[in-house]
Amino acid sequence: MKDKYTVKIYWSKEDQAFLAICSEFPGLSAFGSSREEALHEAEIALKLMIETYKAKGLPLPKPQSALLAA
């Protein structure tokens, strides 16, 4: 399920690191010195967030979908 959620990666000038966020889970963010590291850390955080939601009986957010023009 974690592979269905959106992860966006930005350069944070303030933190001097890459920042990965997941729009479907406000507050979820992860940092890394490379895009790959930020994504890896975000995947770990997302897995833990999903486990927490399930443990608390909270409904999981629906994954966002993108519509691509032909």
pLDDT tens-place string over residues 39-60: 999 999 999 999 999 999 999 9
Q: Would you list the DSSP string of 3-51?
A: GGS--EEEEETTTTEEEEE-TTSTT-EEEESSHHHHHHHHHHHHHHHHH
Q: With contact defined as beta carbons under 8 Å apart, do 2 and 13 qualify? A: no
Check residue 10 and give its pLDDT. 97
User: What does the domain layout of the chain look like in residue ranges?
Assistant: 2-55
Q: H or E stretch including 53? A: helix 35-55
What is the mean predicted confidence (pLDDT) over 61-70? 72
Is the predicted pLDDT of residue 67 greater than 70, yes or no?
Answer: no
Q: Please state, in angstroms and rounded to a whole number, the distance separating the CA atoms of residues 6 and 20.
A: 10
Instruction: Give the model confidence (pLDDT) of 4-24 as tens digits.
Output: 999 999 999 999 999 999 999
Place of tokens 């519509």: 67
Is the predicted pLDDT of residue 1 greater than 60, yes or no?
Answer: no
